[in-house]
Structure 1
Amino acid sequence: MIEKRRPFIVNELLYLGIFAVLVLVMGVVEHYRIKQRINKIPTRVLINGIRGKSTVTRLIAGILKEDGQKVVGKTTGTSARMFYWDQEEEEPIVRGLQGPNISEQKHMARKVVDRGAEAFVSECMAVNPEYQKVFQEHLVKANITVIANVIEDHLDVMGPTLDDIAEAFSSTIPHNGYLIIPETEYQRYFERIAQKRNTKVIVAEESVVDEEYLKQFPFMIFPQNAALALGVAEALGIDRETALRGMLTAPVDPGAMRVHRFGEPARPKYFFNGFAANDATSTLSIWDRVKELDYPMEHGTIIMNCREDRMDRTLQFVDDVLPHFDAKTLILIGSGVRPILNAHKEGKLPYEEVINLEKQPAETVLEKLQALPGDSVIYGIGNIKGSGEDLAEAIEEIRLLDDARLEDYKLENEDAPAKETVSGGLPPRSQRSRAANPNYIQTPLK
């Protein structure tokens, strides 16, 4: 019986060997095709980091377009899309049930080549450290990499420490190219790796970006993000005025921090949707940025959206975030708010008033916000899913209605003395005629 089975086993092993060789050959051929395709794109820019990647991607694409280059941009995440130099409409990236997969990058590169693009600016979609290396070395082969920041997030995959996150990002530093980084404690670490790879490092200093320039954007933008984009312009030899104009005309990301103004036109309320910035560092940085822009802070209100399945985040915010806001009111929405109520009862939180709207619908929360005094700044934090998303959509609906009322109010009062404060993310009225002019640039660089 054994003797009779031996030829069958030999044949089976032979077939398996042939199949393995075919798979290997197909893999080699596929790798060669991807490499050839990528090499047809002269400028390849990869944006890595924890926060701000989509914004930086769009700013850089805007610069290259203003410079006259045929550029394609790609952002990832929940609003993944492609955008092109020669059309206004953006192209959503449709994914299957498996969700985001780094293999989609090879299909996107094919689109870029087929369009005859000269530059491809892509946000890094890989989180796993091993995938980050594959993404850079086999799917993007960037000659310019931007590392926007190294802060705590995805610690379960990239951590457990900041050092581990920095090491993961370092695998995307190119050979014989450019690395653009902010001023960071990991600057020397990145510089050493870049030197080994014969890559030049440009450190983007946010201090050289002027506040009046940033106020011309229709959304909140951090100086560091603009400085990083200008660093890419420097690497490509694009003059500063062209770069500044290009950033202003860059397409706005759906997830950008827009200022939602609603309520009475004379004394509106300002809502900042920071629900998606779910780490402590980013959450506090956005609040600091709001204060820098001179919004009225007398009636500051924090809305914390909690989730029972994210109790670890709630506990972290109790210790590291909520005690550090100089706001009067804290509103709790979502579910699983008990740790925050306990902390307030124990005197660990600085708020004059804590309003518990746990499991209440967005309409109820919105009624409470509309009852706040005029000139209130409202900042949503914690989690975007669930109550956070519902509230943001409800505020967007009433904002559209109130914008029409605001325009009527402006027409009725256009001869009235201008109030020299920032309103809705715009510069003071005395400067708006200049800010609306795309040719006006107040040079922010030294």
Structure 2
Amino acid sequence: MLEKWIIFLFALTIIGFIIENKLAINRRKQFKHVIYINGTRGKSTVTRLIDAGLRQGGYRVFCKTTGTVPLTIGTDNVERRIKRNGKPNIKEQLWVLKKAQREKADILVCECMAISPELQCISQDRMVRSDIGVITNVRHDHMEEMGKTLPEICDALSSTIPEHGVLFTSDVNFYDQLKQNAKKRHTEVILANLQNEFEHEHFRENMVLALSVCEHVGVAKEVAMEGMQHYKKDPYALSLFLLESGGVFVNGFSINDPDSTMAVYDKLTKSALLKHRKCILLINSRADRLSRTQQMIELAIQLKPSEVWLIGSMKAMARRTLEKKGMDVKVFNASSTIDFKTIDAHFFVFAVGNIAHEGVQLMRKIEMEGREIG
């Protein structure tokens, strides 16, 4: 009797998979394009920029982004937070297909939420089935799942390359490897041209990459640029706040990897606003993100800031390591105990690590006490 039940349940599961797959295929056919954005840094921003550019071009767009806060932007251009029961699951992408179809979207613009190469592949080939892929760049992040070296990470990110489609990237260093990987999928790779475009933008590669995608779909450059100038920023994206005491707070929680964090730091410290100020590096850590914490510790050692402030779950471990290196470290049990009135015009606070938990509380405090200036 038990064996019959097992066979019955197994058969039911197989039937469920078949129906689910058929529904996904049928829903995919309703869209002119599905654009799937992957990469280490800038996924959420590029997703939102593409969304804004295409809307300006007259397309009905449904957008889904999984940045610091998972959100959809409906065809009505209204943001709605995704309510999750439990941990994130890539089956969420099937729900996105269904939602976009119901709203009669012309184009679905979707950020990849999978980390492991296997799940990235499933999300592309069995769920969204994009015809336009984007890999923003290849940097060190999620090394436990994607690999220790940059070429390994590039191969992992290549799991979302569409078949018989087109792939866009702005990463010159991995263009050739992406081209080789895309050839196996019969897909063309287009390298976004960064020359003379958006020279004064902090992350012009994101703007140029999104613009290239919009132009490929058929939106005129000037039209797409107009839309992108008013795109909806990701909550807790890179931002600067002027504090009451004259200090500056830089929210860098959304920066995922040490390479990008260093690049942002270099760019900021060359700016007129910050180049004469001393840096206080604030690190928020999570117990389930040990590798990220280790990366931020190494970054602190490399940057040699005036002080390091620690909040979050791994602050004791971080403190021991940094104090052994002779660094001036302060530990805060909660972000609410930090007195930003002590930060005068000679300093700026650069907050990095994870946005979750204490990071969110800290940003609420900053939004109340400071004024956003960039």
TM-score when normalising by structure 2: 0.89
Deviation at 1:198, TM superposition (A): 2.8
Give 1:190-339 correspondences, 5 Å limit: 190-212=178-200, 214=201, 221-263=202-244, 268-305=246-283, 307=285, 309=287, 313-319=292-298, 321-325=299-303, 327=305, 329-334=306-311, 335-336=315-316, 337-339=319-321
- Contact 1:149/1:182 (<8 A) preserved: yes
1:148 maps to 136
Q: Distance in 1 between matches of 2:322 and 2:290?
A: 11
- Contact 1:204/1:231 (<8 A) preserved: yes
2:85 maps to 96
Q: Distance in 2 between matches of 1:311 and 1:16?
A: 40
2:17 maps to 27
User: What letter matches 2:56 in structure 1?
Assistant: E
Unaligned runs of 5+ in 1: 1-7, 215-220, 346-353, 404-423, 426-446
User: What letter matches 1:76 in structure 2?
Assistant: T
Work out which of the residue numbers 167, 183, 187 in structure 1 matches 2:171. 183
User: What letter matches 1:233 in structure 2?
Assistant: C
The one-character-per-residue Cα deviations of 1:167-210 (angstroms, maximum 9, x if unpaired) are 12112111221100113322111112223333221101334322
Structure number having the greater strand percentage: 2
1:217 maps to none
Q: Distance in 2 between matches of 1:326 and 1:339?
A: 14
- Contact 1:299/1:373 (<8 A) preserved: no
Shift in CA distance, 26/314, structure 1 to aligned 2, threshold 3 Å: closer
Deviation at 1:387, TM superposition (A): 4.4
Work out which of the residue numbers 362, 365, 369 in structure 2 matches 1:394. 365
1:54 maps to 44
SS class of match (2:25): helix
Q: Does the alignment pair 1:113 with 2:101?
A: yes
- Contact 2:280/2:347 (<8 A) preserved: no
- Contact 1:305/1:384 (<8 A) preserved: no
1:38 maps to 28
User: What letter matches 1:344 in structure 2?
Assistant: G
User: What letter matches 1:357 in structure 2?
Assistant: K
Deviation at 1:112, TM superposition (A): 0.6
Q: Distance in 1 between matches of 2:24 and 2:285?
A: 42
Q: Structure 1 residues 32-41 or 14-23, which shifts more? A: 14-23
1:415 maps to none
Shift in CA distance, 389/124, structure 1 to aligned 2, threshold 3 Å: same
Unaligned runs of 5+ in 2: none
Matched positions, count: 368
Instruction: Look at both structures and tell me which one has the larger radius of gyration over its CA atoms.
Output: 1
Q: Structure 1 residues 287-296 or 253-262, which shifts more? A: 287-296
Q: Does the alignment pair 1:359 with 2:329?
A: no
Q: Distance in 2 between matches of 1:371 and 1:19?
A: 63
Shift in CA distance, 183/30, structure 1 to aligned 2, threshold 3 Å: closer
Q: Structure 1 residues 375-384 or 74-83, which shifts more? A: 375-384
Q: Distance in 1 between matches of 2:52 and 2:164?
A: 25
